[in-house]
Copies of this chain bind each other. A is one copy, B any other.
């Protein structure tokens, strides 16, 4: 009995693995090529999973993308929280750390890829209300995390208080996303450096 249980478990796990693997490979490919440019067959070939299986696990490409967004967000939010809530740094230092990591990652990738959420937001907001809604949930979640960090900094007098934390978080994310876009097109990391130098080290600092 224990044997069958184990087999069941491993089998179930394997099936789950296929599902997760589809999500993770799709995430990587969509990060590189966007939604429209990514074919389902391409994802399946990478994993040697047959076409029929895909539609066993997912209803449609659109729903698959929704699950990719959620899966990616799960990982990303965890990472983001550990940085912007890190009690061992001051709030402003946390923001700078996050910005720096974003900058270095983009630089390591030769100013390619960027952020899945940002890329899909730009590509799909006008094309799919389903994806737009999902992406807006993720964006709102991130805005909250940044706003909480900024508010903490404001209370400590480390960050300017002329504007609300929510507004500053908004601008912070806008500028960072835009800097990533510019860096990708110009193939130069300077937009990120400028963002860090001016926005963080100067403008929002109290």
For A164-186 the 0/1 string (1 means CB < 8 A from B) is 00011011011111110110111
Q: Which of A122, A162, A177 has the most CB of B within 10 A?
A: A122
Contact between A174 and B187, CB atoms less than 8 A apart: no
For A154-170 the 0/1 string (1 means CB < 8 A from B) is 00000000110001101
User: Please, which residue of chain B has its CB at the minimum distance from the CB of A140?
Assistant: B186
Contact between B179 and A174, CB atoms less than 8 A apart: yes
Q: What is the copy number of this chain in the assembly?
A: 2
Chain B neighbourhood of A126, CB < 8 A: 32-33, 112-113, 184
Contact between B174 and A191, CB atoms less than 8 A apart: yes
Q: Which of A139, A163, A203 has the most CB of B within 10 A?
A: A203
Tell whether A195 is near chain B: CB-to-CB under 8 Å.
Answer: yes
Q: Please measure, in the bound complex, the distance between the C-alpha atom of A37 and the C-alpha atom of B198, giving whole angstroms.
A: 37
Q: Please measure, in the bound complex, the distance between the C-alpha atom of A61 and the C-alpha atom of B33, giving whole angstroms.
A: 18
Number of A interface residues, CB 8 Å?
A: 48
Binding site secondary structure of chain A: helix
Contact between A185 and B132, CB atoms less than 8 A apart: yes
Tell whether A136 is near chain B: CB-to-CB under 8 Å.
Answer: yes
Contact between A199 and B184, CB atoms less than 8 A apart: no
Beta-carbon contacts under 8 Å, A127-170 to B:
127, 132, 135-136, 139-140, 162-163, 167-168, 170
Q: Which of A173, A181, A184 has the most CB of B within 10 A?
A: A181
Contact between A181 and B136, CB atoms less than 8 A apart: no
Which of B125, B167, B194 lies in contact with A185, CB distance below 8 A?
B125
Q: Which of A118, A175, A176, A184 has the most CB of B within 10 A?
A: A175
Chain B neighbourhood of A184, CB < 8 A: 121-122, 125-126
Instruction: Using CB atoms and an 8 Å cutoff, list the residues of chain A in contact with chain B.
Output: 32-34, 36-37, 112-113, 118-119, 121-123, 125-127, 132, 135-136, 139-140, 162-163, 167-168, 170-171, 173-179, 181-182, 184-187, 190-191, 194-195, 197-199, 202-203
